Amino acid sequence: MREITLRNSGVYIVFILLFFYSSCSSYVHASLDTIGIETEGTCPLYGNDRSTARDSAIDDSMKKAVERVVGMLVTQEPAAETLDLLIHTIYPKHQQYVQDYRILSEGIDDGLYHVSIRATLSQSAIKNDLKAVGIFKEGLPSDDEESSVVSVTIHGIERCRDYHVLKEALMKNIRGVNTVHPRRMGSGVAVMDVEMRGGAALLAKELQLQEFRHFILYVAQMSRDTIQFNMAKE
If one looks up domain 36-132 in CATH, what number appears?
3.10.129.140
Q: Supply φ then ψ for residue 175, to 5 degrees.
A: -70, 140
Q: Give the tens place of pLDDT for each residue, 23-72.
A: 333 333 334 578 889 999 999 998 889 999 999 999 999 999 999 888 88
Domain positions in the chain:
36-132, 148-233
User: Who's near 88: CB < 8 A, 6+ residues apart?
Assistant: none
Q: CATH topology of 36-132 equal to that of 148-233? A: no
Of 3.30.70, 3.30.2390, 3.30.1360, 1.10.10, the CATH number of 148-233 is 3.30.1360
For the ranges 4-18, 78-92, 160-174, which has the lowest average pLDDT? Answer: 4-18
Q: What is the pLDDT of residues 144-155, one digit of tens each?
A: 667 889 999 999
Name the residue type at position 130. Answer: L
Please tell me the distance from the alpha carbon of residue 90 to that of residue 63, in angstroms, as a whole number: 10
Cα–Cα distance, 158 to 189 (Å, whole number): 9
CA 57/CA 64 separation, integer angstroms: 11
What's the rounded Cα separation, in Å, for the pair 158 and 21?
Answer: 31
How confident is the prediction for the chain on average, in pLDDT? 82
